[in-house]
């Protein structure tokens, strides 16, 4: 057995399995000062570059989670770092009582690469979804006082603020915080008949993820999203797509809705938009774009010059480095490698859209696989007992995929 000098774990050099967790001093400090809202893995990261991060003991890790789909252009991309540095030296914050150039440039860019006319900026995906819910409720009230119901999907995830938590179709996240907001109905994902039964004249919006991410990467069926669009049109409701995880190139296109040819009225973004700097966005078109007026909504930090300058650099990097095409190609290559032996026999299902990949394990040992992969230098995500999620940076190459497959083969 060998023990690292500074950080975290004792590791069996033959199996690579972590035997003990983090040094006691770090655990005590974390226990004393930090609210424990996460179960942390036994590592402290101190530096990142491209597809790799390093811990405080100098060990290198291949990151196939990207900060949970955040570091889309990789860690500390030079262009993004330069944009942050230059903006930080110029202007960081003024509040939304005034105009700032980076916000305007980013809003224009988002409109140019999407089907949306206007953007509200905030700081996270949950906040973006809260804005979308408020747009939906106000838009419904312009038609009828009873038009306030919102339909979402079971097993969806939309955030942890009270409104976005209510929209999240998972009781395990909701039970401790009841009573939740009234007026929400939940239907089985990809169940067209259930969706038809749930939408009525009292429905102000249908809110869906084009791919269920947090539940294990389940892409929508085209007919399900087409039905949602038709039902919203028929009943005067808004169609909202939560693209917090799927947006900004993750699926091989700018937006996952492009795969389906179904354009929502409202789309929410965050995660990869800032490639590590907190930013969220709620985009809207048509009547939804002008529903909110001064006094209806706001965000002190939303759209601040630093975050918007970083996000604009992210979008420009994706364009100039052709990362949409790379995400499509590397996603297909990764799926191909996962369907080869010896890994194939250990999996019961592989689901993917671009570089958003989920696999179902034959054995219910996803957490063991996650932990042992980490010990071998690969960062992945266990969802429950038998599902693994992979969300690597859009800049990965075949060599990085092969490296990940080698480690997975050893662990599995």
Indicate which residue of 8, 149, 253, 271 is catalytic. 271
Tokens for 10, please give them: 């004792």
**386, 361 contact by CB (below 8 A):** yes
DSSP conformational letter for 362: S
Q: Which residue has the tokens 């091989």?
A: 252
Q: What is 155-181 written as a DSSP string?
A: T----SSHHHHHHSB-HHHHGGG-S--
Given the residues 116, 242, 265, 346, select the one marked as catalytic.
Answer: 242
Let me know if 334 is a catalytic residue. Answer: no
Give the helix ranges, DSSP H, for 113-151: 125-141
Is 271 considered catalytic here? yes
Confirm if 386 and 363 have CB atoms less than 8 A apart.
yes
The DSSP result for 215-261, as a single string, is TT-EEPPHHHHHHHHHHHHHHT-EEEEE-TTTTTTTTSSSSGGGGTT
Given 157, 184, 224, 241, the catalytic residue: 157
Would you call 364 exposed, middle or buried from its count of C-beta atoms within 10 A (0-12, 13-18, 19+)?
exposed
Concerning whether 242 is annotated as a catalytic residue, the answer is: yes
Report the catalytic residues: 157, 242, 271
């Amino acid at each position: 057995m060998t023990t690292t000098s500074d950080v975290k774990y004792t590791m069996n050099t033959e199996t690579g399995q972590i035997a003990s967790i983090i040094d006691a001093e770090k655990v005590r400090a974390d226990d004393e000062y930090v609210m424990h809202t996460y179960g942390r893995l036994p590592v402290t990261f101190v530096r990142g570059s491209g597809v790799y991060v390093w811990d405080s003991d100098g060990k290198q890790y291949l990151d196939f989670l990207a900060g949970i789909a955040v570091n889309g252009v990789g860690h500390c991309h030079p262009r993004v770092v330069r944009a942050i540095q230059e903006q930080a030296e110029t202007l960081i914050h003024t509040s939304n009582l005034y105009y700032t150039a980076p916000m305007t440039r980013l809003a224009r860019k988002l409109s140019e690469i999407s089907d949306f006319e206007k953007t509200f900026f905030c700081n996270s995906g949950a906040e973006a979804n809260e804005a979308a819910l408020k747009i939906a409720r106000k838009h419904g009230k312009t038609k009828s006082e009873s038009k306030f119901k919102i339909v979402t999907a079971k097993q969806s995830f939309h955030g942890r603020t009270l409104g976005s938590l209510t929209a999240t179709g998972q009781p395990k996240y909701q039970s401790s915080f009841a009573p939740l907001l009234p007026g929400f109905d939940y239907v089985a994902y990809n169940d067209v008949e259930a969706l038809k039964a749930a939408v009525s004249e009292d429905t102000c919006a249908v809110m869906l993820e084009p791919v269920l991410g947090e539940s294990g990467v389940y892409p929508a069926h085209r007919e399900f999203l087409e039905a949602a669009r038709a039902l919203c049109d028929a009943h005067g409701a808004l169609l909202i797509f939560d693209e917090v995880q799927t947006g900004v190139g993750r699926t091989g296109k700018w937006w996952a809705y492009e795969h389906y040819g179904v354009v929502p009225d409202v789309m929410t973004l965050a995660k990869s938009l800032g490639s590590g700097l907190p930013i969220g966005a709620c985009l809207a078109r048509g009547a939804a774009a002008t529903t909110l007026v001064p006094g209806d909504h706001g965000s002190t930090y939303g759209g601040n010059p630093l975050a918007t300058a970083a996000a604009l650099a992210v979008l420009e990097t994706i364009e100039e480095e052709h990362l949409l095409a790379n995400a499509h190609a590397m996603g297909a290559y990764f799926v191909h490698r996962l369907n080869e032996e010896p890994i194939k026999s250990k999996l019961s299902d592989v689901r993917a859209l671009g570089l958003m990949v989920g696999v179902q394990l034959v054995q219910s040992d996803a957490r063991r696989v996650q932990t042992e992969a980490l010990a071998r230098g690969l960062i992945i995500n266990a969802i429950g007992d038998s599902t693994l999620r992979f969300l690597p940076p859009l800049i990965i190459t075949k060599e990085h995929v092969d490296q990940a497959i080698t480690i997975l083969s050893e662990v599995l």
